[in-house]
Amino acid sequence: MALGNLRQRRGRTTPLRLQSSGWWLQVAPGVAHYWWNAGNKEAWVVAEVQPGERFVAMIRQIWLLAQDGKTDAKGRPSLLQAAVFSREFADTIQFTSPPQLVQRVLFGLLYPLARATGHRGLDPAYLRRELPIVDLEPLPAEIAELIPSLDAPPPGTGT
C-alpha cells in the first residue's frame, strides 16, 4: 500500500508510477523488486511479508549492524559481512548486485575468512539486544483507513 509519488520495479519491467493512496501490489517470492521515492515530498509504503519471521530477523540484523556502524552510508554491509549475511538469509533475500554468479564465487571465497574474523549472518548478540521503545509517528489518515488491523484493540488489552 502506498501514499506519495513512488516508483516500483519488479524484475526487468518498466517502473510503475504510484501517485495516489491505496495502491496494493503483490510481489511473488524470488522476484527482484525495488521501491523508491520519485518525488520531493515524503512518501509512505506499508508492506506485509508472509511468512514474516525470517524477514523480521533479517531486518533486525541489518538495522543493528547499521546502528553499530558496521554498514556504509547507504546501509550496505561490508563484503565480509555480506558473505555471511547472504548465506544466512538466502531463503529471505538475495542481493541483486553484483550478479548472482559473481556473488557465489566471491562470497564463497570470502565466507571462511568472514567466519574466522568473527562475522555472523545471524549474530546471537543482536537477537538478545533489548531494543528501545519509541513512539511512532501516526500514519497518514489515507493509509490508516486502509489497514483493517489498526481498528482492532492492541493484543493483551482485553478490549
Domain definitions of the chain by residue range = 2-48, 53-128
Number of separate helices (H) and strands (E) present in the chain: 5, 5
C-alpha–C-alpha distance, residues 89 and 74, integer Å:
20
Q: What is the pLDDT of residue 21?
A: 60
Q: Whole-model pTM?
A: 0.73
Q: What is the pLDDT of residue 7?
A: 79
Q: What is the pLDDT of residue 129?
A: 92
Q: What is the pLDDT of residue 106?
A: 95
Q: Which secondary-structure segment (H or E) carries 52?
A: none
C-alpha dist (Å) from residue 115 to 4, 77, 83: 42, 15, 9
Looking at residue 139, the DSSP 8-state letter turns out to be P
Q: Which residue has the cell 478490549?
A: 159
Chunked into runs of 10 residues, the chain (159 residues) has average pLDDT values of: 72 66 74 82 80 90 93 91 94 85 95 97 92 82 75 56
CB crowding 17-46: b at 16 or more within 10 Å, else e: ebeebeeeeeeeeeeeeebeeeeeeebebe
Q: What is the pLDDT of residue 157?
A: 54
Query: Quick check: helix, strand or coil at residue 136?
Result: coil
Q: What is the pLDDT of residue 145?
A: 78
Bridge partners of residue 37, in order along the sequence: 6
Looking at residue 95, the DSSP 8-state letter turns out to be -
Q: What is the pLDDT of residue 112?
A: 97
